[in-house]
Amino acid sequence: MKNMSGSIATVAKSYELLRKEWERNSCDLNRCGEILKTLKISLLSNSFLPESQSGASQQELLIARNTLEIGALHAISSENVATFERYLSQLKCYYFDYKGQLPQSPYEHELLGLNLLYLLCESRLADFHSELERLSEQQMDSVYIRHPVSMEQYLMEGSYNKVFLSKSNVPSERYNLFMNILLNTTRDEIAKCMEASYERIEQREAQRMLFFESLEAMERYRQGRGWQLAEQTREFVFQQDQSDAQKRFPSERVANTMLQYAAELEKIV
């Protein structure tokens, strides 16, 4: 790097402003977003970000990494999944390529675990396993990493009850964003199998199968899917527009999913 002490000082000052705002008990997400936007422009203009860091000092690398981490955490708090993915793609070089030059971040394991859970929500199984292969033994032993690994195992086993029970046992409250997405996706898959398997089903049984804690929540879901409710029998009546083959073989969807998973594992190996 050329002599850019003035620029470094300016960027460092902006970073401290961001850090203090982020660490406040009642953080202003909008204010943090404004500071992040300005700071990222400064980082890019001074070549502090991954595109050209061959000569970056440790101070510059730390400022860039810490800024990106706050950006990723801010995206989670703002429920902006696309922005979270962009920040993680930039952070990976700091966690893997520059790990010998930087002290370990206290947020590293949490963010890597969040990335795994995000990939699982997106059903990007090949990417999920590729990311796992990059992790060290120490990283794999972290509770933040073990959680998404367990979720993937439960889904592949069809142990949906364990997935839903895990909602109350997340390693960080930030995991709730992706856990809610994963639970909703899992619930929708179960509902599709129910629609293909049954002409009607008792209300309480549907509630149990879909892991709803209350009939009120079950009722909102029923209305969202357009299921009819037979008042006398308290049964849900499904629209019977599936083909005969789908009615006879409701497990075909599950079999295809498992075949797809096996194919993706072969690509990884």
Residues 67-109 pLDDT 10s: 999 999 999 999 999 999 999 999 999 999 988 889 999 999 9
Whether residues 18 and 78 share a domain: the answer is yes
Does residue 245 lie within any of the structural domains? no
Whether residues 11 and 69 share a domain: the answer is yes
Whether residues 37 and 159 share a domain: the answer is no
Tell me, what's the pLDDT at 49? 64
pLDDT band at 57 (very low <50, low <70, confident <90, very high): confident
pTM beyond cutoff 0.85: no
Strand 200-202, strand 228-230: pairing: unpaired
Q: Which two tokens stand for residue 90?
A: 């930039």
Tokens 């079950």 label which residue?
Answer: 218
Has residue 60 got a pLDDT over 60? yes
Going by C-alpha positions, the residue among 254, 182, 193, 196 that lies closest to residue 262 is: 254
Tokens 């690509």 label which residue?
Answer: 267
Whether residues 191 and 205 share a domain: the answer is no
Does residue 244 lie within any of the structural domains? no
Domain membership of residue 232 as a residue range:
200-239
Q: Which two tokens stand for residue 29?
A: 């997400």
What total of structural domains would you count in the chain? 3
Tell me, what's the pLDDT at 264? 52
Whether residues 17 and 150 share a domain: the answer is no
User: In whole angstroms, what is the distance from residue 100 CA to residue 98 CA?
Assistant: 5
